[in-house]
Structure 1
Amino acid sequence: MLNNQFIDEFSQQLSQLLKGAPQRQDIEKAVHAASQSVFSKLNLVSREEFDAQAAVLQRSRQKLNELEQQLAELNEKIK
Structure 2
Amino acid sequence: MIAPNQWLDDFQKNVSDMLAKTPAADIERNMKALMAQTFARMDLITREEFDIQAALLARALDRVQVLESRVQALEQAQTDAGLDKTQ
- TM-score in terms of structure 2 length: 0.65
Q: For the residues of structure 2 that align with 1:35 and 1:53, how far apart are their CA atoms?
A: 25
Q: For the residues of structure 2 that align with 1:38 and 1:23, how far apart are their CA atoms?
A: 22
Amino acid of the structure 1 residue aligned with 2:56: V
Equivalent runs, 1:1-79 vs 2, <5 Å: 23-79=23-79
Compare relative contact order (CA 8 Å, sep 6+) and give the higher one, 1 or 2.
1
Which blocks of at least 5 consecutive residues in structure 2 are unaligned? 1-18, 80-87
Q: For the residues of structure 2 that align with 1:75 and 1:25, how far apart are their CA atoms?
A: 70
Cα RMSD for the two superposed structures: 1.1
> Aligned residue pairs: how many?
59
Percent identity reads 32
Which blocks of at least 5 consecutive residues in structure 1 are unaligned? 1-18
Which runs of structure 1 show a deviation greater than 4 angstroms over 4 or more consecutive aligned residues? none
